[in-house]
Amino acid sequence: MTEELYAPLPTTAGGFKTILADPPWRFQNRTGKVAPEHKRLGRYATMSLDEIKALPVNDVTAKNAHLYLWVPNALLPEGIEVMEAWGFRYVSNLVWAKRRKDGGPDGRGVGFYFRNVTELILFGVKGHLRTLDAGRRQVNMIETRKREHSRKPDEQYELIQSCSPGPYLEMFARYPQPHWTVWGNEADEDVTPQGKVYKGYEGGEIENTPPLENHERLTKDSEIAVGKLLRDEYETGKSIKDLAAEHDYSIARVRRYLSLVDTQLRPQGRAPSTQTR
């Protein structure tokens, strides 16, 4: 099946140093809503675990390399198997937290035991290769809104490129990116990837400020997104006190979020200046 659907893996001199892969995993229940093969949803063909493991990834990677492997929560053991079969050892993971417009968890996920609002990227190392300097400051979470079925957040590319060296190879690619070699049966630009866009699944940043308890914290990316929203309101003339009251945040929280997005704060008690002609 693999040979029928996919061309041979690309190669580069010295081997790829960073691999991003989102395999078409096959679930045991192939007719439920979780399964990619669900006919009513028009998704995509899948591969067996043995077919994925048999891909000669080890042959096209450098002696020292990184692997970012997307794995459904239900198939974590299989993900570790694939990583090892490809010549990598598991060392950590990144979590994609799927958010609503207001920053809260997107509870429309599915699952047999829990309603999944996260997906995992397993991070593996071949040989000995630390992350770049930026990686040692990078939190292991991406928080964005969902898009088409199975489409992963575009924010992953900037994160990976800041943390791992090139050359880069994306396997099972669907939306080619600059600076990446791509491979997969939907990787060509003239191919329209499968997967419908449903209402409310357009992706993008958080659009509304989420309700928060006094002790509750957001990740840095979400704080910046909320800070931008507060800055827009602040620049219309609202005071920090107004914003705190409207969003039920403390004044200290509002100030911190505004400072994260380099808001030019007005002196206390002064209204925004208006230009006259």
Count structural domains, the chain.
Answer: 2
Residue 13 identity (one-letter amino acid): A
Domain CATH for 133: 3.40.50.150
Overall pTM > 0.85: no
Question: Does 246 map to a domain?
Answer: yes
State which of 125, 155, 183 marks the end of a domain: 183
Same domain (yes/no): 225, 146: no
Q: Which domain holds residue 19?
A: 2-183
Residue 28 identity (one-letter amino acid): Q
Structure tokens at 162: 């800041």
Question: Does 108 map to a domain?
Answer: yes
Same domain (yes/no): 54, 153: yes
Same domain (yes/no): 121, 227: no
d(CA 217, CA 220): 9
Same domain (yes/no): 136, 244: no
Q: What is the pLDDT along the chain (277 residues), one digit of tens a residue?
A: 454 557 899 999 999 999 999 999 998 764 555 555 455 455 567 899 999 999 999 999 999 999 999 999 999 999 999 999 999 999 999 999 887 766 666 666 667 788 888 899 999 999 999 999 988 889 998 888 766 556 788 889 999 999 999 999 999 988 788 899 999 876 555 544 454 444 444 555 565 677 776 666 676 777 888 888 899 889 898 999 888 888 888 888 889 899 989 999 988 766 665 544 4
Question: Does 193 map to a domain?
Answer: no
Same domain (yes/no): 170, 227: no
Same domain (yes/no): 239, 113: no
Report DSSP letters for 205-218, one per residue: S--SPPP--TT---
Residue 165: CB atoms within 10 A of its CB come to: 16
Q: Are 97 and 152 in contact (CB under 8 A)?
A: no
